[in-house]
Structure 1
Amino acid sequence: MAGLGQIAPFILTYWQHFLALLLGYVLAEVFRSRSSNKPRKIEAISTDKTGIVREADIQCEPPSASTASEKQPTIKTSDAATEEEHPSPEEDAFDLESGKHIPYSIERYGEDEMKKRSQEFYLEMNKRRSVRYFSNEPVPLEVIENIVRTAGTSPSGAHTEPWTYVVVADPEMKAQIRDLIEDEERVNYEKRMGQKWVDDLKPIGTTWKKPYMTTVPYLIIVFKQVYGLTDSGHRKTHYYHEISTSISVGMLLLAIHHAGLVTLTSTPMNAGPRLRVLLERPANEKVVLLLPVGYPAENALVPDFKRKPLDEVMVLK
């Protein structure tokens, strides 16, 4: 009782402060309870097919007291976020805003058919050989045009297509080309190449003489465009022009063989500038290869070479 007697004067002196604290606590509890019953607005982030991020409003309504223990909050979305979509890794990797794109699909085959087709194509291409003995039998120009069209379907850096195929059918022009090539090749074999290079070519049987150039119905001289030109005459960058042109020539070789013709990939070393002038090609074009195209001669011979087996050209990891 003595302790209560000591506290009573303190309470009587400061009772107004205790009452204010109690009222403040009660009001705070009331406001907190009301605010928890109001719908909450949440900013949601979703992503559309193009990878563009957009915002959508989601209204979360709390359950009524009678069903609070049975139901989860209902989610209502705006029209823009009805279907929340996420781009696949492939879609997210490309920017499709700048260029025009169209749907693409190919015919698909069952596994057995794929194996059959791939085996048949390999067996056909495995018959391809570099030939130096040609017939002078004419070949329809349309066949050559289709062959070059096929080469033109090749991929290229930034789709610049940095190649030019000059097809020579005129006998006089072919004779000029042969004279030009043989002039340079004679110097190559006698001075520039060195004895080791000449010895390495002996199993093939080549010399500086190129009689097939005036025998075949067509010569195809392949030029790479080291840069392009815009309509206004300004330079246009050609990316990977050497590799792109080489891939295109690979497709040209397949098309030649598929058409029942033969060819030889020859590199006119040191003759490129003179060939460019003779064929009236612009300064941005450089000679890559010269290919005689036609039928093989009846007495044609090829070196008895064997190709590497698969385990020497393919590594599987």
Structure 2
Amino acid sequence: MDAELLLARERRSIREFSERPVPRELIAAALSIACTAPSGANRQPWRFVVIGDPTLKARLREAAEAEEREFYAHRATPEWLADLAPLGTDAQKSFLTTAPYVIVVFRESYGIAQDGGVLKNYYSPESVGIAVGFLIAALNRFGLATLTHTPSPMGFLSELCGRPKNEKAFVVLPVGYPADDCTVPDIGRLPESETIFWAI
């Protein structure tokens, strides 16, 4: 248990990826683990689009940076920008082209039956969030780094990835090995005494 706990505690989000190739089988295995997550009424409303093609990654970066420039210049509140400042983020998203893979996670807001009818999905945001947690943990276990990126808004991703209208982009995950000179923000986590409470 101590080894697993240490591994989890050492996981950090990074923004500087190595161009070192990542074995496709590692990505496939991590996605298989993500698909074992629990979901409301077992509807499994997650859809994973894995992008490795450099041209498509470049298109993704261009569109994401356009949205991010608008966000930083006009949409983000001063308080939001102040909270982001310690992380060193800005509108430049080079990790979207440097990371060997980018996984775009979509949430199926409703299903479509064979007869064209609508199938209700229950607790789809919660279900997809759990699956993303499984995915990040699995990738970390395989020695890979990630970053949870949510360009705002994310509507462009549906067209870019060729997804139907009943799916909404949930999160973008660049995946790869950390760059040799990778740095991470000097930030900590809340003490467990402030986040864990036992009612027994």
Same fold at TM > 0.5? yes
Give the match for residue 167 of structure 1: 50
Give the match for residue 130 of structure 2: 247
**Aligned equivalents of 2:129, 2:109: Cα separation in 1:** 13
After TM superposition, list the pairs within 5 Å mapping 1:157-306 onto structure 2: 157-270=40-153, 272-306=154-188
Cα offset, 1:120, TM superposition:
2.4
Cα offset, 1:194, TM superposition:
2.1
Matched, 1:312 2:186: no
**Aligned equivalents of 1:148, 1:121: Cα separation in 2:** 20
SS at match of 2:6: helix
**Aligned equivalents of 1:209, 1:310: Cα separation in 2:** 34
How many residues align? The count is 199
- What letter is aligned with 1:222? V
Cα offset, 1:135, TM superposition:
0.4
**Residues 231-258 of structure 1: CA deviation (Å, up to 9, x unaligned):** 2221111000000000000001100100
SS at match of 1:293: strand
Q: TM-score, normalised by structure 1?
A: 0.62
- Which of 4, 12, 18 matches 1:135? 18
**Aligned equivalents of 1:206, 1:159: Cα separation in 2:** 37
SS at match of 1:221: strand
After TM superposition, list the pairs within 5 Å mapping 1:36-115 onto structure 2: none
SS at match of 1:201: helix
Cα offset, 1:309, TM superposition:
2.1
Greater relative contact order, per chain length (Cα 8 Å cut-off, separation 6+): 2
- What letter is aligned with 1:206? T
**Aligned equivalents of 2:40, 2:79: Cα separation in 1:** 36
- What letter is aligned with 1:232? D
**Residues 256-314 of structure 1: CA deviation (Å, up to 9, x unaligned):** 100000000011211x2211011110000000100100000000000111222221111
CA RMSD of aligned residues (A): 0.9
SS at match of 1:159: coil
- What letter is aligned with 2:130? I
- What letter is aligned with 2:162? E
**Residues 53-79 of structure 1: CA deviation (Å, up to 9, x unaligned):** xxxxxxxxxxxxxxxxxxxxxxxxxxx
**Aligned equivalents of 1:216, 1:309: Cα separation in 2:** 32
- What letter is aligned with 1:296? P
In the alignment, structure 2 segments of 5+ residues that lack a partner are none
Q: TM-score, normalised by structure 2?
A: 0.97
- What letter is aligned with 1:281? R
- Per mean C-alpha deviation after superposition, the further-off stretch among 238-247 and 190-199 is 190-199
SS at match of 2:119: strand
Cα offset, 1:197, TM superposition:
1.2
